[in-house]
Amino acid sequence: MKVIITGAAGCIGKQLVETLLQQSYQVFATDIKPNPFPQHAGLIYQQLDITSDEFLHWVEQVRPQGVIHLASVLQISKTLTRELAYKIDVQATENLTNLCAQIGVEKFVITTSGAAYGYHPENINSLITEDRPTKGNMDYFYSDHKAQVEQIMANAVDTYPDMKQVILRPGAIIGPNFEGPVVNLFEQRIITGLIGYPGPFNFIWSLDVVDYLVEAVTTDITGQFNVAGDGALSMRQIAKRLNKSYLPLPPLLIQAALSILKPLGIIQYGPEQVKFIKYRPVLDNSKIKQQFNHQPRYTSEQALDAYLQLSSTDVEQ
């Protein structure tokens, strides 16, 4: 089976490539970054920009049976603007989806995020199932783009019924050698939160995400699935496990500070970011546990403890 993996140089992508190669799949991997892999029999790597025609020509030449689309933007910056992020996240995904259907790809697997549901008041004290509409927040590019990608995939189900698809919506991913905004949170000297809002986190181990991706592309499973360990941890509980101080602040104070600091260019976040702590989605994982053979290695609590154990071992070494 030929499988194309985009975003193959990312944390999940690298682990996924290694896993599929061990299972003797014919792996075609691509990323805008240089090849991060040693010499591997069965691996063909191309350094490509997924927004380019060259990338689409390469996919057409490979003609895979399966595609696992991981490439996306986690954070924007002065050089990686929201406009460019839109081209990568949304336009490139739509172009790839259309091409895959046209060349007869049998299975299209994509990761979006729990952020696709959006950060809304109805999230409070509510487990979110896959029946909840994905209505991201316009003022948060990541949530907005993931919701738009979900709409592209929903349209593809109607337009290209012969191409089976799986959408995985992970919670906060942590694991070996994993990087990202969640890990950045752990590195803060003081964990800040909001008075009256616990800011819950669903954690999922990175190797669990890899195992779900492999099962998704190699079986007849289709549909949308939340990917999370059982339970959730509040920001206060996270701070306690990190052995760091927890400082809950009034939401209005945070909004006022952000409204001053963002125009000065000190931070990239504005006052609208407060709702992303207030209304963090907590994902119900019942569906994926029922329909996939793979089961999460850890609960959310155990995943954080395992990550911290790895981190302490690295420090000691």
Q: Has residue 259 been placed in a domain?
A: no
Q: How many domains does the chain have?
A: 1
Q: Has residue 171 been placed in a domain?
A: yes
CATH classification of the domain holding 92: 3.40.50.720
Q: Has residue 238 been placed in a domain?
A: no
Q: Has residue 261 been placed in a domain?
A: no
* pLDDT score of 315: 44
Q: Has residue 191 been placed in a domain?
A: no
* pLDDT score of 272: 77
Nearest to 294 by CA among 224, 211, 216, 230: 211
The residue range of the domain holding 164 is 2-177+202-229+282-299
Q: CA angle at residue 182 from 311 to 28, to 5 degrees? A: 85
Q: What is the pTM of this model?
A: 0.94
Distance CA 255, CA 198 (A): 17
* pLDDT score of 317: 43
One pLDDT digit (tens) per residue for the chain, 317 residues? 999 999 999 999 999 999 999 998 999 999 999 999 977 877 999 999 999 999 999 999 999 999 999 999 998 888 899 999 999 999 999 999 999 999 999 999 999 999 999 999 999 999 999 999 999 999 899 999 999 999 999 999 999 999 999 999 999 999 988 887 888 888 889 998 999 999 999 999 999 999 999 999 999 999 999 999 999 999 999 999 999 999 999 999 988 888 887 777 767 667 777 888 899 999 999 999 999 999 999 999 999 999 999 876 554 44
Distance CA 65, CA 26 (A): 10
Q: Has residue 147 been placed in a domain?
A: yes
* pLDDT score of 184: 81
**5 neighbors 27 (Cβ within 8 angstroms):** yes
Q: Has residue 307 been placed in a domain?
A: no
In order of 13, 44, 80, the CA distances from 277 in angstroms are: 28, 41, 24
In order of 21, 22, 116, 165, the CA distances from 107 in angstroms are: 18, 20, 22, 6
Q: Has residue 151 been placed in a domain?
A: yes
Using DSSP's 3-state secondary structure scheme, residue 41 falls into: coil
Distance CA 132, CA 110 (A): 18
